[in-house]
């Protein structure tokens, strides 16, 4: 009979074998805050360089075979850019992941996109969404990931009710264009860039809009897009219960949507979220898209992305260590201290030795960050890209 330690290692290995987390293309390029941009000499300046960096992260971690693409930033020519993306997939061994439309950058969207009072601008936004659906279909991408930045900054300046109806119309039309293998993920955000009302401000609004759009629409949870003290794992449990959880954008925050490295502020929160996910059935888990949404403005791009993936793997491994049978018994008996200690013991366990063993058994470097440093990759791309980045300024990505 296997020992407790052997059973624990087996649970961790099984969890790590199934764990996949998507990389954001924009996380490798020069990005910034609303106040400006800090340029990095090694930042990716083309979509090919983004694929190259993503391939390096995947090669060292074994967990990130897909790259989320931003339509305007990565496919400015729309569907005509699909052959070039397919060539990059073949060349670098990582595939296009979620397709992210851009409904917040153009000047026409000053007063909103799919909730704009102008029917012409709503049609423009819808056309972009339908083009994005076609791009996803051509690339074989499952998820169309929607962040709607619409809202207003002053009371009385917009009809909240009218805007709900306009969003329903556009999202329903977009849903109707999805093929049998595509989904539409609806993200929510309580504030920023709109500070009086945001049109999709919480998970309930996102859920209802997804329901009205159709069965292929699900909710996307961004861990940074919540008010202070929000119990995100409770939201996750509800969405799982309702069959409405589509995926995550993982980052961390101290105050608001800070886009900090995953687990850098509150690793216990990520552990609690992963615990709820590991309570779900295998079928439910495979339908959840794990995606990183971080803009590393101070940390090195590739290094920070590897740090994020490694942290996610370790926290997922910790959640896999929870003795769920024992915990269920303790919960049923309302043994509060014992149940909490059963839960916390898994979090406090150092899983790095087990994760290193798993990596070595899978032909991966035991320490991905050390392997990156020894590879000379950062020095190489710095030499190649420094001159192009020396004059970079202005736009977010």
**Distance in angstroms between the alpha carbons of the first and the last residue of the chain:** 55
Question: Residue-wise pLDDT tens for the chain (397 aa)?
Answer: 677 777 888 999 999 999 999 999 999 999 877 677 789 999 999 999 999 999 999 999 999 999 999 999 999 999 999 999 999 999 999 999 999 999 999 999 999 999 999 999 999 999 999 999 999 999 999 999 999 999 999 999 999 999 999 999 999 999 999 999 999 999 999 998 999 999 999 999 999 999 999 999 999 999 999 999 999 999 999 999 999 999 999 999 998 888 899 999 999 999 999 999 999 999 999 999 999 998 888 899 999 999 999 999 999 999 999 999 999 999 999 999 999 999 999 999 999 999 999 999 999 999 999 999 999 999 999 999 999 998 665 444 4
pLDDT of residue 393: 53
- The CATH fold assigned to 19-300 is TIM Barrel (3.20.20)
Domain locations along the chain:
19-300
Q: What is the pLDDT of residue 106?
A: 93
Residue 116's pLDDT is 98
Rounded Cα distance between 260 and 248, Å, is: 15
């Amino acid at each position: 009979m296997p020992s407790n330690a052997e059973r624990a290692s087996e649970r961790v290995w099984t969890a790590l074998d199934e764990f996949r987390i998507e990389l954001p293309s924009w996380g490798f390029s020069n990005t910034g805050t609303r106040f400006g941009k800090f340029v990095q000499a090694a930042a990716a300046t083309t979509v090919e360089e983004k694929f190259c960096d993503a391939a390096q992260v995947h090669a060292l971690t074994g967990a990130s075979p897909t790259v989320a693409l931003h339509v305007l930033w990565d496919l400015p020519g729309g569907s005509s850019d699909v052959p070039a993306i397919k060539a990059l997939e073949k060349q670098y061994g990582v595939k296009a992941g979620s397709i992210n439309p851009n409904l917040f950058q153009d000047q026409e969207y000053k007063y909103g996109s799919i909730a704009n009072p102008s029917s012409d601008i709503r049609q423009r936004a819808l056309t972009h969404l339908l083009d994005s659906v076609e791009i996803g279909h051509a690339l074989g991408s499952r998820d169309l990931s929607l962040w709607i930045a619409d809202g207003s900054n002053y009371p009385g300046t917009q009809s909240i009710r009218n805007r709900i109806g306009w969003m329903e119309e556009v999202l329903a039309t977009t849903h109707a264009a999805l093929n049998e293998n595509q989904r539409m993920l609806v993200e929510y955000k309580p504030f920023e860039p709109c500070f009086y009302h945001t049109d999709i401000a919480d998970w309930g609004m996102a859920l209802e809009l997804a329901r009205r759009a159709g069965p292929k629409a699900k909710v996307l949870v961004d861990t940074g897009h919540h008010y202070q003290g929000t119990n995100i794992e409770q939201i996750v449990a509800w969405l799982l219960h309702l069959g409405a959880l589509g995926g995550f954008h993982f980052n961390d925050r101290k105050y608001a949507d800070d886009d900090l490295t995953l687990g850098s502020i509150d690793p216990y929160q990520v552990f609690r979220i992963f615990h709820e996910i590991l309570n779900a059935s295998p079928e439910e888990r495979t339908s959840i898209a794990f995606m990183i949404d971080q803009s590393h403005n101070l940390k090195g791009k590739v290094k920070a992305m590897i740090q994020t993936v490694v942290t996610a793997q370790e926290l997922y491994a910790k959640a896999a260590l929870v003795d769920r049978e024992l915990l269920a018994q303790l919960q049923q008996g309302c043994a509060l201290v014992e149940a909490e200690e059963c839960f916390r013991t898994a979090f406090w366990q150092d899983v790095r030795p087990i994760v290193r063993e798993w990596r070595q058994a899978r032909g991966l470097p035991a320490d991905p960050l050390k392997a990156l440093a020894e590879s000379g990759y950062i020095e190489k791309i710095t030499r190649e890209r420094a001159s192009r980045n020396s004059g970079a300024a202005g736009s977010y990505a």
